[in-house]
Structure 1
Amino acid sequence: MGLPRKCDLSSENKQFLYCASGEAAVLFACLFGTLIFIHLIQAILYRRRYCWVIIMAAIWEAGAFALRVQATLDQTKDGALVPSVLLIYLAPILLNAFVYMVFGRMVYYYIPEKKIAGIRAERMALIFVWLDIFAFITQAVGGSMSADDESNVGVIGSRIYTGGIAVQQCFIFCFTGLLIKFHRVMLRGGGIPEKGSQWRVLVYVMYFTLFTITTRIIYRLAEFAQGTQEDKLTVLTTKEVFFYVFEAVPMLFGMSAWNIWHPGRIMVGPEGDFPRLSRKEKKAMRKEKKEQKKAQKQAKKEAKEEELMTLKENRQAAKEERRSRREERRHRSSTRESHHHHHHRRSQSRHSRAEYAVLDNSQQGQFWDEETGFYPYPANRSFT
């Protein structure tokens, strides 16, 4: 005996494009609820705080299918389906974020330099988590808008949501490149030998999880490819079986894989997670960073002042050098003029003496050249 349900596909208020199965929704709500319990126990047992992300993903999936059960009881009544669909849309992003967080800790745990492709483990995990948050916000906005079927807002919302999952897939491709890089480094012996070879298991689980998420994204892209109008809907939208095969099952397998190969069981010890600082240590670190920033700013200011001073001194030295060159050129010019004038006077003197020598003795004493300014020898003195 199944659950009672009311399904009328001819009704204007129909919530599904098919008569949804309440039994299937109950099954998956129970399965995801079991994953919540197991992940919670493992997070406490292995003391891994970051596992709250996958726990929250399982909670959203379980809550989504619980709401779907309620929606199947009367499929002509609004209420439970919209939040159910929104949670189903967004839960895979949390699983995606969990993969990013585990990978960052794998790099921190296995690589001696604690970085891959020049990116430190902590920063890399933070970058991809923020990218995932961006995709989350985009899909949340689009998913909430797509619930409006009475105007163009629903069409716009579907397009925004489709863009959000396409962006998410682009981030997955970028992340897969780093994962392959890590895989190659470890195969070449670039890891820490003492940590063992169980890193392979985590890498393969990541590949599998990314495959399940990608399968679900491709399904959603194909579903919304023709739009949301009833005359353009595909069989992916009008048959419930595809929803469970390409949406529910991949997410169930992707989450349960981390129950079997839990990162806390493989990456043991304090290095299995990023170091967690106390409040006092964080305060001291912030203070140290502030002092370093202040010292760098002061050093930069002093360097700038020293550079300005050096520039000023160089300009002054260049100015003095130009002045010295001008003085030297002026002195050389004056020396050349003096020498030329002296040479000219001597030439005039020789010429005047030659003329004076040809005069009679009576005329020599009377000779005076007003032009050359020659002063003759006395008349009674021989020229030679």
Structure 2
Amino acid sequence: MAHGEPILYSLYIYAPNKVAPVIFAVLYAVSASLFIWQAIHYGSLKLTWLQLVSACLFSLGYALREYGAYNYLYREDSSSPLILFVLSQVFIYVCPPLLELANYHVLGRLFYYVPHQAPIPAGRVLGIFGGLMAAVELLNALGVSLASNPSADSAQQSLGSNLTIAALSIQLAVILIFVCLAGLFHWRCVQAKMSSATIKTILLVLYASMLLIFLRCIYRLVEHVGPTNKDLTNIDALRKLSPLFRYEVYFYVFEATFMLINSALWNIWNPGRLLPQDYHIYLGRDGTELVGEKDVDNRPSCDEAYEGLSETSKISYSNISNCAKLATKLAVTDCARKADKINV
């Protein structure tokens, strides 16, 4: 591992380790292979395809980093080291948001399984947060490609760093929203005495996964808060960069290892093994599995209460309207009688 001393013209700032990328490329490939086997065995591809894609991209990213470990010096006469370096950074950077979205996908599937305790309709989870993650991925791709490109000027590198900070900030906000939704769902299940082993296990794995992604985001955010402009020809400027840039060990702990543990968690506790394949199978209020229609009522209690109030309002309005009509009719009849008496 690099010991913090910058190397002139190094795209990584340091001389990258030549063994670690191979190890992580192989381990992520093993994780991807397990996801493929589990998808065939449990029929879980629809539920875990994001984890599979992330593992494949991670493996590709570290394979490219292995190439960069032997070709890490910036060269004006050859663009290959720079292009493959940027691609490696992008592939590794875009995976954590995909894993974050994968967690929302699993949470949404859990909402389908216990619809009457879901804080929001299960069908909206992936749609809402998928849009946010798409924005994050766009910011990530642009930010990393600019910030990691030493041939870009300082203004472009600063713009890339700011875009990356924006993407990380959105990720952190989405994680907090996730904790609120999952926590509320968990609390409702406990209150309803529906804490089955399946629900507990999946929620605990989701919490652990999000914690790993959260810590990784904090690491990346701190990395980009300080000086980020890289002048590969100025050794003094390189020495002023954050230690998170200059020491490779931080990258392999907070990025490579944490995200590998995240993938391993879903390999061990694959949601396709724990949850029914059929979305129509759900837990009834008594805790027994039922087979429902396509559109199971998965609205939160507040929505049901709102509809109840709406129906009550309709009934009340109807009663008031009928009473008003009756009162008007009686008043007209009374006036007619009085008029008859006067005429007599």
TM-score (norm 1): 0.65
Shift of 1:125: 2.5
Give the conservation status (yes or no) of the 8 Å contact 2:62–2:88: yes
User: Per-residue CA shift, 1:329-366, capped at 9, x if unaligned?
Assistant: xxxxxxxxxxxxxxxxxxxxxxxxxxxxxxxxxxxxxx
Match in the other structure for 2:162: 159
Distance 1:244 1:224 in 2: 17
Shift of 1:159: 1.1
Provide the aligned C-alpha RMSD in A. 2.1
Matches within 5 A, 1:298-337: none
Match in the other structure for 1:241: 249
Give the conservation status (yes or no) of the 8 Å contact 2:146–2:159: yes
Match in the other structure for 1:185: 188
Name the structure, 1 or 2, with higher relative contact order (CA <8 Å, separation 6+). Answer: 2
Letter in 1 for 2:262: G
Asked whether 1:74 is paired with 2:78, we answer no
- Cα 1:262–1:227 shift into 2, 3 Å: same
Distance 2:32 2:280 in 1: 22
Shift of 1:190: 5.9
Distance 2:138 2:281 in 1: 27
Instruction: Give 1 or 2 for the bigger CA radius of gyration.
Output: 1
The alignment covers a number of residue pairs equal to 261
Give the conservation status (yes or no) of the 8 Å contact 1:103–1:125: no
Match in the other structure for 1:197: 197
List runs of 5+ in structure 1 lacking aligned partners.
Answer: 1-7, 275-384
Distance 2:48 2:7 in 1: 45
Matches within 5 A, 1:1-384: 10-11=7-8, 13-48=9-44, 49-77=46-74, 78=81, 79-111=83-115, 113=116, 116-117=118-119, 119-149=120-150, 150-151=152-153, 152-189=155-192, 191=194, 196-229=196-229, 230=238, 232-271=240-279
Give the conservation status (yes or no) of the 8 Å contact 1:135–1:167: yes
Shift of 1:187: 0.8
Give the conservation status (yes or no) of the 8 Å contact 2:6–2:239: no
Distance 1:30 1:146 in 2: 28
User: Per-residue CA shift, 1:185-223, capped at 9, x if unaligned?
Assistant: 1111264x8xx4321010000000000001110000111
- Cα 1:272–1:245 shift into 2, 3 Å: farther
Letter in 2 for 1:264: G
Letter in 2 for 1:58: A
Shift of 1:133: 1.4
Distance 2:135 2:281 in 1: 24
Distance 2:242 2:68 in 1: 22
Shift of 1:271: 2.6
Shift of 1:273: 8.5
User: Per-residue CA shift, 1:49-96, capped at 9, x if unaligned?
Assistant: 232111100011000000000000122142321100111111111111
Shift of 1:10: 4.4
Distance 1:146 1:234 in 2: 14
Distance 2:7 2:203 in 1: 49
Letter in 1 for 2:55: A
Shift of 1:148: 2.9
Distance 1:186 1:217 in 2: 30
TM-score (norm 2): 0.72
Give the conservation status (yes or no) of the 8 Å contact 2:43–2:277: no
After superposing the two structures, state which structure 1 stretch, 213-222 or 75-84, moved more: 75-84
